[in-house]
Structure 1
Amino acid sequence: MKIAQPHSVCVQSLEYSADLSLTYFSHLQHLPWAMLLRSAAQGHPNNRFDILVANPIATLVTHAATTQITISSDAGNPIYSSQDPFELLAHYQDLLLPSLAPIDDIPFIGGALGYFSYDLGRQVETMPTTASADIPTADMAVGLYEWALVVDHQLQRAYLVGQNLPQYQQWLENQKCLYQQQVDINESFRLKSDWSSNMTKSEYGQKFSLIKEYLAAGDCYQINLAQRFNAAYQGSEWQAYQALETSNHAPFSAFIRTDEIAVLSISPERFLSLENQPCVASVGPLSVDPLTTDCKPSTKRVIETKPIKGTRPRSLDPIEDAQLAQQLQRAQKDQAENLMIVDLLRNDIGRVAKPGSVTVPALFEVESFPAVHHLVSTIRAQLDDNQTPSSLLRACFPGGSITGAPKIRAMQIIEELEPHRRNIYCGSIGYISRCGNMDSNITIRTLIAYQQHLYAWAGGGIVADSEMEAEYQETLDKVSRILPILSKV
């Protein structure tokens, strides 16, 4: 096995344009292991970076308890392992892409990028297997990349960054030429059937009633229940993604293609970010910040998560729309749901954070998106010195905002009540950079394209005073800018 040796990262500036990553990716979107993370929410505080990768030097693909590791320098001969996939990811990233110093304003300088499905949580906790696994695709699919195209929408700059840049620049030019010669790649997207759900409204109501019984019995404080929609399609998944992005402008969007599936994500929700930040020395006892104490001389590793819990539909009437947002911010039920998840995530992060560093700087803020208003809180902490980005991801996986509380019991009930496994829905898409930075989304408002069928999910947290009609309607509100948009493409 050829082991990579540390090298300095090269950075080449490109001429900025808001759609630069889309232009480049359009020539690559048909290739397995081409991936795009896209900040598409203009005016949103998280609308900053696009990250494009392709042509990985290695891939890690987990099915159930087995991970297949394929390294290009080993002539594609795969390695199979039953070791914990989060540990394998950390091991092979360290082996093949050793750590490098961060570069200001460039979050990803090569590293790991891919998806972690909700069902990867079975590698963390013991779960029953009652729901049908009818989409038998990977629980984890991550590539290791030497290079990336990074677009910074705030500073209006763009870069190619990484190692062996001349090689990848030539590869990009070759792909552009090849793509332009293959006209049939761009077959127009269209649905070939109507959308159908895996449960009727009556069946949803029956499951809702069972959840109310679990809540009354004290099994949980909150349980998330989702329905799954599907439709047959033909043509370009990339074209479908672009239509969804144009309509939804989500800050944590992504398009991923593997050997098995295409993933179209227009997620509004951050899962976990980890950023190397300079330490600021305190000047007195009143200015001590738990994120800056007991850290290494120059940097701290700051964790942030922004759980969403609480939803209201948007209105075309500006006055009514503002009233809906104000109603959400004042709603005691939604605040209680949100607080439950904040407490859950504080506990999860606390497993790997420096003692005393977990803080909640923002509670119950309203963020507005094209289809809905959401209630969002912010949790921050400092990663302990002996922990890695992969161990942080494992400690919090899957995200508590889409399970319920307590998490394990809620997941057991979800498995019992939902007819099909969630697959990538409520998992995560993200990166772990060679410089130690990490960012990831929660894969809500996310679709899978598999064997000429599209699958989309929508759910919501149910608590003791939830009402069935309102909760069912909330699931429809969440896909109101997804299913109709694709029906019209």
Structure 2
Amino acid sequence: MTCVVQLSAPWREPAEVLSAFAGEPWALGLVTGGTGARWSYVARAPSATLTHRAGEAGQPFARLRDLLGPPAAPATDGPPFQGGVVGLAAYELGDHVEALGLARQPDWPDLAAARYDALLAFDRRAGKVIAVGRAGDHDTAQARARAALGWLDAAPRAPRGGVLAGPLQASDAAAYEAAVEEVVARIRAGEIFQANIARAWTCALAAGVQPFDLFARLLDQSAAPFAAYLRLPGLALVSNSPERFLQVREGAAQTKPIKGTRPRGADPASDAALAAELLASDKDRAENLMIVDLMRNDLARVCAPGSVKVPALWALESFANVHHLVSTVTGALSPGRDALDLLAAAFPPGSITGAPKVQAMKVIAELETPRGPYCGSLFWAGADGGFDSSVLIRTAACVQTAGGWRVEARAGAGIVEGSDPHAERLETEAKIAALANALTEAPPA
């Protein structure tokens, strides 16, 4: 039997609370921004952790299931996530789904996960904070909830002003356009239908600046639906992702792939024109539809026959720097299947690989260096079977060095037969703009 205790407190901004202990290993923030935002989470001091690197013994998905533990009955009220596992799945975790012999970045594991039996859930709609404690008995669960409530008493760190990093160094533009040309040629030769090809930007954080400062700046300037911060020993992930990968609630599965992009306009008229252009684009619709079909196939591997549907196709969603086409695919998990089965069936996300997925991944491996966290997923898996996850785009991978923090961020574009190399390069620059501005521009006084 599992007991869950929930204690309430007045509203606080989640980033403000997280700032007090953001430098601790395994400090965590999942912050929902944008229209309709409700639940966010902050956690620290996990009960158990898991790090799996290439070549280590054991199967990472099986180790993840062991970390989560036996299923527990869902609580009747409270936040969707009431304790369980939060994990960072690097793109190369896909090598454990299809053995492709992918190279790895030296710093990042394939999987880093932790079990949090105490957390703070922030209900923006109700204007309150809920401290959650989970344990096998009521007294321990209550003690954990009270400990989490005590995190609210820590003094917050003041927001960082000024410029956070030196100039961004972009990978070679001509080389990227040449890679797009090669992918187009391989599509015309019949090898693949689509591949998502990315380019990289790197920089060093300024003296004294921490990865959390970038996270706080992004929340202030362009908060996204799946903003996230995870501190690992010597590493930090800062994500401002707009894209859901997989969600499971009471056996109902959902994915919302993004394909199709236009920059935001300088004024309302040009902005509306760019949005209309995207909605009318046959090329972008075809790109989106390919990935919808791929995700339908991935969900069908673990969903009941006939249950996979597409309730929304080519919906327009607008963010700080870009408009996107977003579709929704749903399904009902088959009896005996759960969210971790779905994760293994669908990883890595189809929207950032291509179609067919395995061959597209082979092409990506030829044209890019190992991705690490970029285009992987950050997820939470509740002990009660609930699950939610993002696609790690608009994400900074931060590595601590003797001289400070170095940062890598990437942005990609889905390449199809009709792709123009120059236009695809400009699309990557539109996608990286919010992250680049947060790093290299001082906020208004």
Shift of 1:88: 1.5
Shift of 1:114: 2.3
Shift of 1:145: 1.0
Shift of 1:175: 9.1
Q: Distance in 1 between matches of 2:92 and 2:255?
A: 21
Shift of 1:434: 1.2
1:294-373 equivalence runs, <5 A = 301-373=251-323
SS of 1:429's partner is strand
Shift of 1:105: 4.5
SS of 2:58's partner is coil
Q: Distance in 2 between matches of 1:398 and 1:326?
A: 31
Instruction: Say which of 454, 468, 474 aligns to 2:407.
Output: 454
2:138 equivalent in structure 1: none
2:431 equivalent in structure 1: 478
Q: Does 1:50 align with 2:40?
A: yes
Q: Distance in 2 between matches of 1:29 and 1:191?
A: 17
The change in CA–CA distance for 1:333 and 1:186 in structure 2 (over 3 A counts) is: closer
Calculate the TM-score normalised by the size of structure 1. 0.84
Q: Distance in 2 between matches of 1:108 and 1:171?
A: 15
Q: Does 1:272 align with 2:246?
A: yes
Amino acid at match of 2:176: Y
Q: Which runs of 5+ in 2 are unaligned?
A: 135-140
Q: Distance in 2 between matches of 1:188 and 1:156?
A: 28
SS of 1:432's partner is strand
Q: Distance in 2 between matches of 1:176 and 1:392?
A: 39
Amino acid at match of 1:328: L
Q: Does 1:219 align with 2:209?
A: no
Shift of 1:157: 3.5
Instruction: Say which of 92, 95, 114 aligns to 2:67.
Output: 92
Deviations 1:259-290 (A, max 9, x none): 131110000000000002xxxxxxxxxxxxxx
SS of 2:433's partner is coil
RMSD: 2.0
2:381 equivalent in structure 1: 432
2:391 equivalent in structure 1: 442
Instruction: Say which of 143, 150, 153 aligns to 2:121.
Output: 150
The change in CA–CA distance for 1:155 and 1:186 in structure 2 (over 3 A counts) is: closer
Q: Distance in 1 between matches of 2:378 and 2:422?
A: 31
1:62 equivalent in structure 2: 52
Q: Distance in 1 between matches of 2:285 and 2:399?
A: 37
SS of 1:480's partner is helix
Deviations 1:24-83 (A, max 9, x none): 211121111111110011x2x4x22101111111101111132xxxxxxxxxxxxxxx22
Shift of 1:174: 7.3
- Asked if the contact 1:458/1:475 (under 8 Å) is kept, the reply is yes
Q: Distance in 1 between matches of 2:152 and 2:328?
A: 41
SS of 1:481's partner is helix
Q: Distance in 1 between matches of 2:294 and 2:26?
A: 34
- Asked if the contact 1:128/1:412 (under 8 Å) is kept, the reply is no
Q: Does 1:136 align with 2:110?
A: no
Q: Distance in 2 between matches of 1:434 and 1:122?
A: 26
Calculate the TM-score normalised by the size of structure 2. 0.92
Deviations 1:197-236 (A, max 9, x none): 2x31111122112111210111110011000110011322
Instruction: Say which of 142, 146, 157 aligns to 1:169.
Output: 146
Q: Distance in 1 between matches of 2:133 and 2:335?
A: 26
The change in CA–CA distance for 1:320 and 1:110 in structure 2 (over 3 A counts) is: same
Q: Distance in 1 between matches of 2:299 and 2:151?
A: 44
- Asked if the contact 1:188/1:236 (under 8 Å) is kept, the reply is no
Deviations 1:312-356 (A, max 9, x none): 000131011111111111111100000000000000010000111
- Asked if the contact 1:28/1:175 (under 8 Å) is kept, the reply is no
Q: Distance in 2 between matches of 1:174 and 1:398?
A: 35
Shift of 1:100: 2.8
Q: Does 1:487 align with 2:440?
A: yes
Shift of 1:385: 1.5
Aligned residue pairs total 430
- Asked if the contact 2:120/2:149 (under 8 Å) is kept, the reply is no
